[in-house]
Amino acid sequence: MRRFSSSLLLLGLIGAFAITGCAQNPHLSGGRLYRSQKIYDKAQRELELAVQQEPKNPLAHLELGMVYAEIGETKKAGQEFDKAVELDPKTQKDVDANRKHYWVEHFNAGIRLSNEEQNFAEAAKEFEKAIDLDSKDVRAYTNLAFCLRKTGQPDRALALFQKALTLNPTDVNARKNLAASYLDMARGEAKERRFLDAIVLYEKALGLDTTLVETQFELANAYSEAALAESIAVAKTQYYDKAVALYNRVLERTPDNIDATFNLGTAYLAMDKLDEALPFLQKAVNLDPKAFDFHYRLGRAYARAGSDEMAVAEIVMSKALQRGTAQTDLDAWFNTDTMKSRYPDVTAQNKVMENNGKPEQVYTYEESGGTVEVWFYWTKGIGVYFVNGTAPAVNKVEFSPVASQ
């Protein structure tokens, strides 16, 4: 199913920006010097003392934030950057430049770990650090959520996708990934046969991404299953109506969708709308003549419509495909002496072969003490059956020809 995706590319790195301004505090001066020399343990000690002595000095907070970022203390770094801007809005430009520098480092590391190494657990840590540094950039949230899904943490992932969408309601990736998250949750509920709960989640997914044909299809299936389980007639009808509407929407976009075609015909049959059911069930058979359940359901529809002989013919096709024995040596099977050894009178079989030639496939099965023999002319779109060598009044079904393979 689907499919969380990151369309984000590696971002170009920028260098950390030097901070301008006077540094009267000796700890601040020392800390800046140690930072420039990349002696971060001493820089941290000096700058923490500078902040203690001058807690309202924005430059001290900014310098300390940079050191924290260098040593991987990203949460503290983000807090110090925020504090610097709070104390003096004029530092916003320097703060933004340095915050973005460190954000890009961790974001790119996360992208490499997830895309190239498939190490989603370590990638998640990098994206978390990016969020520590900038809690307003949705890209880190969507990528972190993606990694959490991959590491089996769907609830946390869902919350992050929701957060991303809150930060930027128009973000396409956030919407699609949140929709995919709801879709996965819906599938979990459907698998446990909690269809009403699944419906709620499918609806949420569809509300976020209306382009998902598979969501419409699976939601229609959930409504159909809910209808089957419903004992109250009004509710049952409502569920089927919703299922039918959704299957039709799917077929508008994918007209030859076999499963949607079959399921729509089945829903109409359950609603006792035979005029609507029969064309869709016949179309399903035409789309896949070798599907035994398609023939069976079409046979059921014919029976409900009062066409008993066609009903039997379709159900015979179904049984042959489902549990019949395929004859592997057709030359031997149609040897004149062999045919006569099976049945004293082979007039009916010879007549069919005079018109159509030998069938491409033959199945046999036993029922009620008799032998049912079914011939399939796949490339001609014909199925014919005999019972103990005798052809019933209606012993033929037709379907769309199957291309030879």
Q: Does 13 reside within a domain?
A: yes
Q: Residue 125: which CATH number?
A: 1.25.40.10
Q: Does 310 reside within a domain?
A: no
Q: Does 349 reside within a domain?
A: yes
Q: Does 311 reside within a domain?
A: no
Residue 104 shares a structural domain with residue 198: no
Q: Does 144 reside within a domain?
A: no
Residue 285 shares a structural domain with residue 329: no
Q: Does 359 reside within a domain?
A: yes
For the chain, how many structural domains are there in total?
Answer: 3
Q: Does 141 reside within a domain?
A: no
- What range defines the domain where residue 39 resides? 1-135
Q: Does 405 reside within a domain?
A: no
- Buried (b) or exposed (e) across 19-58, using 16+ Cβ within 10 A? beeebebebbebbbebbeeeebeebbebbbbbbeebeebb
Sequential pLDDT tens for the chain (405 residues):
333 444 444 444 444 554 544 456 899 999 999 999 999 999 999 999 999 999 999 999 999 999 999 999 999 999 999 999 999 999 999 999 999 999 999 999 999 999 999 999 999 999 999 999 999 999 999 999 999 989 999 889 999 999 999 999 988 888 888 998 899 999 999 999 999 999 999 999 999 988 889 999 999 999 999 999 999 999 999 999 999 999 999 999 999 999 999 999 999 999 999 999 999 999 999 999 999 999 999 999 999 999 999 999 999 999 999 999 999 999 999 999 999 899 989 999 999 999 999 999 999 999 988 999 999 999 999 999 999 999 999 999 999 999 875
Evaluate whether 76 touches 63 at the Cβ level (below 8 Å): no
